[in-house]
Structure formats: C-alpha cells, structure tokens
Structure 1
Amino acid sequence: MHDVLEILGEVYMNNTLTWWTTALTITSALVFIMLERLRPYTKGQRLFREGFVNDFILYTIVQSYVLGLIIFGVIYAIDDFTTIERFDGIRSLPVWLQVVLFIVVHDFYIYWFHRLQHRNMRLWRTHEAHHSTNDVDWLSGSRSHSLEILINQTVEFAPIVLLASPETAVVKGCIDAIWGMWIHANIDVRSGVLQYVINGPEMHRWHHAADDDAHNKNFSTKLAIWDWMFGTAFLPKQRKPKGYGLGDTFPKTYVGQHLHAFRPLRHDDTASNNELRS
C-alpha cells in the first residue's frame, strides 16, 4: 500500500537528484539576489527589507518544513484509507514528460483557484498575507498563509505522489521553488513574445500592484497563456506600479498575519469590496 511513499522517502533522503535540485534552488536564489542588485526594477529596494527575517526564517524554512510533513501525512492517509487504483500509465512515461504534464495541469488549476481567491472573501482571507509585502522581491513569494499552502500543495502533490514516479515530485518541487522566486524577483527584465506564454516578473509584479486598474489581473503562475486566453492579462508599457502591498495596517508578524485571516467577516464584505485587493 505504501510502496510509492516509501520510495519517495528514499528519493528525498538518499537520492543524488534531491541534492542536485536543492543545490540548484539555492544557487538560483543567489543568482536572483545578484541580479536584483545589478539590474533592479525598483531601484533602491533593500535586500534586508521590512519582513525579510519573517519571510525567510518563519515562512521559507520553518513553515515549509512543517507543512511538508503535514501534507505528505495527508497523502499517506489518502493512500492508507482508500482503495485508489493507481494509473501506471503516467508513471511509465519519461520523467521529463511527467513533469511537463503536471506543470500544465496544476498551473491550469491554480489559475482558476487563484481567481476564486480574489473573488471569494473567505478564500481571500487565506491569500491576502501573500499580497501584504510592500516590497516584491525574490523572497516575497514565500509569504503565504499556511491554510493556503495546505490546500494548494496537497492538491498539487497528491496526484504526483500517487500517480507519477517519485523523481517527478522532486523535480516539480524544485521548479516550483525556483519559479516562485523568479516571478517575484525585483529584476528589470523584458520577456518579449515569451511573456504571452511563460510568466515572469514583468507581468506578475502587476498582480501585486496597488494600482486600481491592476486589481484582479495576472493570475497565472508559470504559464501566462491562461491570462491572455481568459481576459485577465494586464501589462502596461509606459509606467510602473505606484506601489505594492495592502497598506501599513496589515500585521507585520507571522502570527499576526495568520490570525488576521480569522477576523470576523463584516455584513458588507463582498467580492467587490475594497478589502479584496490586487
């Protein structure tokens, strides 16, 4: 029953692939940091900006580790208490093709779930912490409420663990981490025609912009094509965002940002209310 999970554990703990993907993720972070210094989009933005320690220690390291254990525990329970018949057809494909398949399928899901988060007040409460940083950079993408991560990464990795090869989960996790840093990076880059297909910082920073006309735009994560296909693309050429974040009243601490999601809903809270930002 647990063969796949046991193999996955061995891959994560003992396999050379894990060490290579970890090294690649760390190297990518260092490259993004360097490029932010050499070619910043927002000039003068500090590396150790407000919330850096909170985002790096508590969100990136502590939360990621703890939630990883919980998420794979949930997947273990799904495997244990169901009689799901795994479809070996996916696992028989080359790893690179499995990775591409799950990137496209999950990215399509996350596009629509992301749109719903910006329309539904209860879901927005678990997403707003991600929009609270006043400085969008390589690290700011890590700031996400634990409930949001539990939902999205369980939906993402349960099919991969149960249907794909263990190596696919490792590679997909590496791509997720690097891409998350990339699209939030404070790097002045122009993607040209690629921006119509592949998402990058040029387009995603507008998703975090405080400008009124940028609200509820650019929901794509990896494939920008969803925004262009479904009418949510926003990419003005002659100006920059006037700012980012949700204002100075949003809690600054990890605990405060989590508890803030559970404040009482007001009777006038609707999807069009100003509380639903960016």
Structure 2
Amino acid sequence: MSSMSLDALNDWRVLSPLIIAVAAAVIIGLERLFPYDPGQRLFRKGWFNDFFLYTFAQSYVVGLAIDAIIRALDGAVGPGRFRLVAGWPVWAQLLLFFLVHDFYIYWFHRLQHRSSLLWRTHEAHHSVDDVDWLAGSRSHPIEILINQTVEFAPIVLLGAAPEVALMKATLDAVWGMYIHANINVRTGPLQYVINGPEMHRWHHSGVFTGYGFNFGTKLAIWDWLFGTAHRPPGEKPPRYGLVGVDFPDSYLRQILYAFRPPASSREEPDASVRGGTASLDR
C-alpha cells in the first residue's frame, strides 16, 4: 500500500464517523423543524435497542464477522489478485460499486419480500412503528451479514483503493438515515432518480400491493423501471410497521424471532403481513 493510499485511508477513518455524526444531527434537526408526521417522538418506542444494540453493538460484532469472511476470500484468491479497478480514479471506483450494489440490493430486497425464508431475516427492519432517522439501523444480523459481504467483498477483491470501503460505508449510513427520516421533503422530478423519505416511508407503511413496493435504496430509478414504484400525490401512509404480528420488544427476542417454528408445514405468510392492511388494487 502506498503512503498516499495509507494517508487517504487514515483521513477517512476520521472523516467517516465525523460525517455520519454531523449528518445525524442535521437530520434530527430537520425532523423537528419539518416533520413528515407531526407529533412523532424523538425517543420513540425501541429507540434504546435501535441506537445502542443495533447501531453500535450489533454493527461491531457483525463487522468483525464480515471482515473475517472477506479476509478469508482474499487469502484464498491472493491479496488483490484481480485488481481490475486498481488503476481507476477513486471517484470512478466509488461510482461503480455504488451503482452495482444498489442494483443488487433492489432485487435482493424484492426477493426478501417474496420469500418466506428471507422475509424472516427482513421482518425486524419492518417492525418499527415510528419510522425515523434511526429506523434503518434495525436489521437482522443475518441480513446485514449477507448484504454487506456482497457489498464490500468486491471492493477488496477487485483491488479498489482502501479508502473506497470507508467512503461507501459512510454513504450507506448517511443515505440510510435520510430515506427513513421523518422529514417532509419533496424533491419533485428528482424522485424519479434519487430515493428519499417521500417514497421509502411508503415502503414501511401499512399499505401494500402484492408483496410491496418502493424497494430501491439510494436510487428510485429501479422502482420506476421495473414497475414497483408507488408515490400517491397528496397522500400519507396511514400507519407503519408490521400488521397482524406480535413482534417482540427486546433485542434478543427480535433476533430469535426469525428462527421460530413455522405456523404450518409450509409457511407462506400473507402479503399483508409483509406490508400493510389495505390493498391499493382498486
């Protein structure tokens, strides 16, 4: 690793938590000033679990596991053996992994809503009744393990600059807070390309068509291209969270809930359990 790459990596080790902390403070402030759903509390139900256990404790432990997996993969094929993007500018590397991973996560997210097995690892994410800047952190560790291994392994194995992983992780964290935020933002035509609260809050709503809609994370364009976009003008979701599910309150029980025995020999939860109570098919 060159001294220039090492300097950039060290810079991002400082910049990453700083950017995330400042972004969180700004988003919290905007939620108080311009709420999408007025009256939603800052310290809502589940705040402690989501902030301390999911955001910090779980992220640390799962991060160690992902790092071990990627190191094992890298060791199996040789350090930086492929190095297909090593000569690219850092901005081009980041753009590549941004686009490819966002396309992957759209389709994997759709599959999570259709597969009864994968839904079990995604259910916790939809259990938040008051969607806000912190809601995105509530995700089952198996879901995080899958998605972030798929996300960060190519960055290492294709020989990207070491700071790209931290830049990508920072972008993930800030964008994740933003799309779940309780902010009454309207981006107009940009919403056909860039995802934000006005579409993603509908994804967490108590309304559904089939197995859901608005599966995009950073880019909304996938939903518009593949027919899963939903943004009714002048309407707001009537409620958020799971419907007809007695989801546990404690962190440990929430994690273990994914391993509960099936309700029948062939468990296939109704689509309404995965998204809402009122069909939009009219």
The aligned counterpart of 2:279 is none
Within-5 A mapping of 1:102-141: 102-141=97-136
Deviation at 1:215, TM superposition (A): 4.9
Kindly provide the amino acid, as one letter, of the partner of residue 25 in structure 2.
L
Alignment pair present for 1:189 and 2:169: no
Within-5 A mapping of 1:25-104: 25-83=20-78, 86-104=81-99
**Partner of residue 248 from structure 2, selected from 247, 251, 274:** 251
Tell me: CA distance 1:223–1:212, structure 2 relative to 1, closer, same or farther (3 Å): closer
- Structure 1-normalised TM-score? 0.92
Deviation at 1:167, TM superposition (A): 1.1
**Partner of residue 265 from structure 2, selected from 262, 267, 272:** 267
The aligned counterpart of 1:205 is 201
Kindly provide the amino acid, as one letter, of the partner of residue 277 in structure 1.
G
Alignment check: 8 A CA contact 2:203 2:275 kept: no
Percent sequence identity is: 57
- Structure 2-normalised TM-score? 0.91
Distance 2:78 2:16 in 1: 32
Deviation at 1:212, TM superposition (A): 3.2
Alignment check: 8 A CA contact 1:32 1:185 kept: yes
Kindly provide the amino acid, as one letter, of the partner of residue 264 in structure 1.
P
C-alpha offsets along residues 15-58 of structure 1, whole Å, 9 cap, x if unaligned?
12221121111000000000000000000000000000000000
**Partner of residue 217 from structure 1, selected from 201, 204, 213:** 213
Distance 1:11 1:96 in 2: 17
Would you say how many aligned residue pairs link Structure 1 and Structure 2? Answer: 272
Kindly provide the amino acid, as one letter, of the partner of residue 267 in structure 1.
S
Distance 1:29 1:41 in 2: 17
Distance 1:86 1:55 in 2: 38
Deviation at 1:66, TM superposition (A): 1.0
Deviation at 1:98, TM superposition (A): 0.6
Name structure 1 gaps, 5 residues minimum: none
Q: Secondary structure at the match of 1:42?
A: coil
Tell me: CA distance 1:214–1:48, structure 2 relative to 1, closer, same or farther (3 Å): farther
Tell me: CA distance 1:214–1:102, structure 2 relative to 1, closer, same or farther (3 Å): same
Q: Secondary structure at the match of 1:218?
A: coil
Name structure 2 gaps, 5 residues minimum: 277-282
Deviation at 1:225, TM superposition (A): 0.4
Alignment check: 8 A CA contact 2:112 2:122 kept: yes
